[in-house]
Amino acid sequence: MQIQLSHLVPLPLRDKLLQRDSDIWNKEVSFTPGSLVKIKAPSGTGKTTLIHYLYHIRYDYSGKVLVNGQPWQAYDKETLAGMRQQQFSIIFQDLRLFDQLTALENIELKRTMTPKPYCTKEKVQEMAARLQVSHVLPQSARTLSYGERQRIAIIRALVQPFTWLLMDEPFSHLDEDNTQRAAGLIAEECRARQAGFILTDLDNDQHFDYTVYHRL
């Protein structure tokens, strides 16, 4: 699934961004399927905004986001839902878990959203064990620490099929060890699906063998 950006500029940041030199904003950019993309940018330059544009939950931009040659707007809501179940997975910066559900239920919600779940319950337990959050699975998401929530959000993003994984500062609240484990799991899961990812972060890092670097 090809993603192309064509002169994409966020309307609220327009004046500020056009004065900066960027690899993404107001450029023709193409993300090849399967590539591991790192987008590095300081705060306030629109990382989250870009991820939201790519995932089509914000629309205040000029230019185009093309998915398989079609602008996002060409897809109807049902098709969009299908793509979010099968093609695009996401780890939000603000995680967006349901507080009224337990950690496990948050994962199950995503896993069972498709009639035929992509991975088994055991696989979920295995991933939780790898990220050392097995013990918090039965707890309400409300009671978890931010780091624990972040790892639950990562697992939730990995229980579905996808060709692109969008990550918005996914390790912001994890220590070095946990980051290594999470990055290892993500890399494995992407390989298993032959999927690519787009990751935004503040700094340089060596968590993945990135194929493309961009500065926002």
C-alpha to C-alpha distance for 207 and 129, rounded to whole angstroms: 20
The interface mask with other proteins, positions 9-48, x = CB under 8 A, is ----------------------------------------
Beta strands in 73-189 (DSSP E): 88-91, 164-168
Cβ proximity to other proteins, 81 vs 202, nearer residue: 81
Sign of the Cα pseudo-torsion (59, 65, 67, 73, in order) = positive
Question: Among 139, 109, 108, which Cα is nearest to 122's?
Answer: 108
Task: State which residue, 69 or 115, has the beta carbon closest to other proteins.
Answer: 115
Pair 103, 138: CB distance under 8 Å: yes
CB of 83 to other proteins, least distance (A): 8
Q: Which of 85, 93, 179, 180 binds other proteins (CB under 8 A)?
A: 85
Residues 105-144, mask of contacts with other proteins (x by CB under 8 A)? x--xxx-xx-x-----------------------------
DSSP 140: B
Residue 105 Cβ, how far from other proteins at the closest point, in Å? 6
Structure tokens at 209: 């063998």
